[in-house]
Amino acid sequence: MTTPAYAAAALPTAPPVDVLVVARLWPPMLAALQGAFRIHDRVHLGEASAFAAIAPLVRAIAASGESKVSRELIAKLPSLEVISVFGVGYDGIDVAAARERGIAVTHTPNVLNDEVADLAIGLMLSVARRLPQADRYVRAGRWLEGPMPLARKVSGARLGIVGLGRIGAAIARRAAAFDMSVAYTARHEKPTLGYRYFASAAALAAAVDFLVVVTPGGAGTRKLIDAEVLRALGKDGYLVNVARGSVVDEFALIEALKSGAIAGAGLDVFENEPNVPAELLALDNVVLTPHVGSATWQTRQAMSDLAFGNLEAHFAGRPLLSPVP
């Protein structure tokens, strides 16, 4: 892995900028930060005295999409100017607390749209065509006993997208290649996109075969996909979640999968990552992935360039590249 050119771009003559890293960052991203800033890697999780020694110096936080940056942590950092998230989601960042202090918050939108959309389609195909189960069937030698039971067709089916933002629109474009009809629910109707709009997730779920969740996380969407929505999706319906675990009522989902109230689920995110409930691990009608929506070299490099670029722009007095809306 080559070190990106900007890694050595220490800001000329300025005293080193102190950056608190609050997550286990992708190593090349961490290396780039270490090449340009004075890094304090997760010191806030360690000795209180060690954190107290650097807290007054910290001018930036480097976080990931899964990070928690609370009002309490922000209050302990009197010199904090900017929070750069290595991720599109920032539901763990107390943006209101940051704004009250005039602290900028940035994220990495757009550069991962294709990647997350690809995984959503991949999970839909995997759970409907039972690809992991088929792989295990062959490896276990069961093909010698006879053909694998038939699965569910995806092409031509009805797709419902919960959250038609940048990634949702990328999923819809891919679904068209599968001759799927596309409908959606979102905070606002988006008539220009030409897909059928439903005002609620339950109404959408009742009208589709596959329900893909791709909304932001946070209080506004907590448990949006609940028992009622899962009942509406029905015994032949499939759920895919590439958003945040918090958006789906995980207990209700497990009950629906165990009872057959829905047919199956493809899940990349969970309520308490990296802990996945044992009941889910035991189910045969689910496909589980470890929050890998954006996890490719190409996309993580693009996310790193943008997250680093936002810090560099801030400390060079240039406009931020991608502030949160």
Choice between 29 and 208, CB closer to ligand 8YV: 29
- Residue span binding ligand 8YV (CB under 6 A) among the ranges 129-137, 193-201, 219-227, 290-298: 290-298
Picking from 216, 218, 215, 213, the residue whose alpha carbon sits closest to that of residue 253 is 213
Contact track, ligand 8YV, 244-283, x by CB under 6 A: ----------------------------------------
Q: Does 168 bind ligand 8YV (CB under 6 A)?
A: no
CA atoms within 13 A on the CB side of 281: 6
Instruction: Out of 42, 222, 231, 291, pick the active-site residue.
Output: 291
Q: Does 41 bind ligand 8YV (CB under 6 A)?
A: no
Identify which of residues 161 and 256 has a Cβ nearer to ligand 8YV in the complex. 161
β pairing state of 210-213 and 238-241: parallel
Give me 24's structure tokens. 């286990």
First to last CA, the chain: 33
Which residues contact residue 219 at a Cβ distance below 8 angstroms, ignoring those fewer than 6 apart?
none
In the set 174, 244, 300, 314, the catalytic residue is 244
Window 45 to 64, contacts with ligand 8YV (CB under 6 A) = 64
Name which position in 106, 126, 241, 294 contacts ligand 8YV (CB under 6 A). 294
Nearer to ligand 8YV, 65 or 168 (CB): 65
Which residues are registered as beta bridge partners of 19?
39, 60
- Smallest CA-to-CA distance from 65 within 116, 124, 2, 99 is with 116
The Cα diameter of the chain in Å comes to 72
Cis amide linkage into residue 16, ω under 30° from 0? no
**Pairing state of beta strands 238-241 and 181-185?**
unpaired
The residue (of 185 and 215) whose beta carbon lies closer to ligand 8YV is: 215
Q: What's the rounded Cα separation, in Å, for the pair 10 and 20?
A: 17
The secondary structure of residue 321, as a DSSP letter, is S
In whole angstroms, the minimum distance from the beta carbon of 89 to ligand 8YV comes to: 3
Q: Is 23 or 183 the residue whose CB approaches ligand 8YV more closely?
A: 23
Near ligand 8YV in 92-121, by CB under 6 A: 112
By C-beta, is 109 or 264 nearer to ligand 8YV? 109
273 counts as catalytic: yes
Kindly list the distances between the CA atom of residue 69 and the CA atoms of 18, 278, 291, in Å, as whole numbers in the listed order: 17, 29, 19
Least distance to ligand 8YV, CB of residue 69, Å: 13
- The single residue among 44, 59, 61, 65 that binds ligand 8YV, judged by CB under 6 A, is 65
Binding ligand 8YV by CB under 6 A: which of 44, 60, 74, 86? 86
The residue written with tokens 């780039």 in the block is: 32
User: Is 291 designated active site?
Assistant: yes
Contact positions toward ligand 8YV, by CB under 6 A? 64-66, 86-89, 112, 291, 293-294
